[in-house]
Structure 1
Amino acid sequence: MYLPNSRWTWAFMLVTFFQCIISLALEGYVFGKFQASLNDGARSQGDTPAPSSALTIPTYLALFIFGFIYELVLVWDALRLKNTIQVIGVCVYNAGMLVYAAVEMTQVDEALKTLSSLPNAVDEGTWHDLRPWLIAAPCVIALGTVLLSFIAWKLYDEFAWTIYKHISADLRLKRRYLTYQVYIALLKFDFFFFLGFTVQFLVVVPNTSKIEFWLTVAALPITIVLLFLAAYFTRRESYVGQSFILFIYCVGMAYFVFKLVRMYDADYHRVDEYRPARRSLTLFAVLTLIALVVTMVVACVCMRNFNKGLKPHIQKRAVPSAEELKYSNYGPDQFSAQHMQLGDVPGRMTID
Structure 2
Amino acid sequence: MASFRTPYHPSPSSASIADSERTGYQHQFSQFHKSPFQSTELPSSPYSLNSLSRPEFEMKQSMSDLSTTHGHDPESGTINPAAPPEPDLAEGDAGPPSLLARARRLIPNSIYCRLYLLAVLVEATVDVVIEGILYLKMRDYYETLSASDKPNDDLYIKRLPVYLGIFAFAHVYQFVLAMFAVHQRNTMQFMFLALFNILLLLYSIIQIFEIGAKADTIINPTSLQTVQILTSLIPCVIGFAQVVYIGLAWKIYQEFGWKVYKLLGADRRVKKMYAHYLFFECLIKFDGFFWVGFSVQYLALVLSPGDVEYYLTIVMTPGCFLVLLVGHLAARHESKWMMISFFLGCLAALVYFSYKLYRIWTQRTSPQYLGVFKSHTIFAAISIFFLLITFASGLIVWNNFEHGLKIQMDKADEAKKRADRAGVSGHQRSGTVVSSYMMNGTGGSKRNNRMSIE
TM-score class, shorter-chain normalisation, is 0.7 to 0.9
Correspondence for 1:272: 367
1:270, distance to aligned residue in structure 2 (A):
7.1
Determine if contact 1:42/1:50 at 8 Å carries over to the other structure.
no
Alignment of 1:220-299 (within 5 A): 220-265=317-362, 268=363, 271-299=366-394
1:209, distance to aligned residue in structure 2 (A):
5.1
Q: Where does structure 1 lack aligned partners over 5 or more consecutive residues?
A: 117-121, 340-352
Normalized against structure 1, the TM-score is what?
Answer: 0.82
Correspondence for 2:229: 132
Larger Rg: 2
Distance 1:123 1:53, change over 3 A: closer
Determine if contact 1:162/1:322 at 8 Å carries over to the other structure.
no
Distance 1:123 1:230, change over 3 A: closer
How many aligned positions are there?
Answer: 324
Counterparts of 1:6 and 1:179, CA distance in 2: 26
Letter matched to residue 30 of structure 1: L
1:334 paired with 2:438, answer no
Residue 82 of structure 1: which of 176, 185, 189 is its match?
Answer: 185
Moved more, 154-163 or 129-138: 129-138
Counterparts of 2:309 and 2:352, CA distance in 1: 13
Correspondence for 1:9: 113
Determine if contact 1:43/1:50 at 8 Å carries over to the other structure.
no
Distance 1:94 1:253, change over 3 A: same
Counterparts of 2:174 and 2:321, CA distance in 1: 17
Q: Where does structure 2 lack aligned partners over 5 or more consecutive residues?
A: 1-104, 417-425, 446-454
Distance 1:261 1:131, change over 3 A: farther
Distance 1:269 1:284, change over 3 A: closer
Determine if contact 2:130/2:230 at 8 Å carries over to the other structure.
yes
Counterparts of 1:43 and 1:156, CA distance in 2: 56
Correspondence for 1:19: 123
Distance 1:178 1:325, change over 3 A: farther
Distance 1:43 1:334, change over 3 A: farther
Runs of 4+ in 1 over 6 A off after TM superposition: none
1:321, distance to aligned residue in structure 2 (A):
4.5
Distance 1:158 1:34, change over 3 A: same
Distance 1:333 1:136, change over 3 A: closer
Correspondence for 1:304: 399
Normalized against structure 2, the TM-score is what?
Answer: 0.64
1:157 paired with 2:265, answer no
Counterparts of 2:303 and 2:326, CA distance in 1: 33
Distance 1:28 1:170, change over 3 A: same
1:96 paired with 2:199, answer yes
Determine if contact 2:303/2:309 at 8 Å carries over to the other structure.
no
Instruction: Using the aligned pairs only, state the percent identity.
Output: 25
1:123, distance to aligned residue in structure 2 (A):
5.9
Counterparts of 2:378 and 2:250, CA distance in 1: 28
Determine if contact 2:305/2:311 at 8 Å carries over to the other structure.
no
1:205, distance to aligned residue in structure 2 (A):
2.0
Counterparts of 1:138 and 1:261, CA distance in 2: 33
Counterparts of 1:107 and 1:209, CA distance in 2: 30
Letter matched to residue 96 of structure 1: L
After superposition, the C-alpha distances for 1:273-332 in whole angstroms (9 at most, x for unaligned) are 223333322222222222212111111110000010111223456986464786236376
Counterparts of 1:280 and 1:136, CA distance in 2: 23
1:193, distance to aligned residue in structure 2 (A):
0.9
Cα RMSD for the two superposed structures: 3.1
Correspondence for 1:119: none
Determine if contact 1:59/1:200 at 8 Å carries over to the other structure.
yes
Counterparts of 2:171 and 2:149, CA distance in 1: 29
Correspondence for 1:67: 170
Q: Tell me the secondary structure at the aligned position of residue 262 of structure 1.
A: helix
1:272, distance to aligned residue in structure 2 (A):
2.9
1:135, distance to aligned residue in structure 2 (A):
2.5
Determine if contact 2:112/2:252 at 8 Å carries over to the other structure.
yes
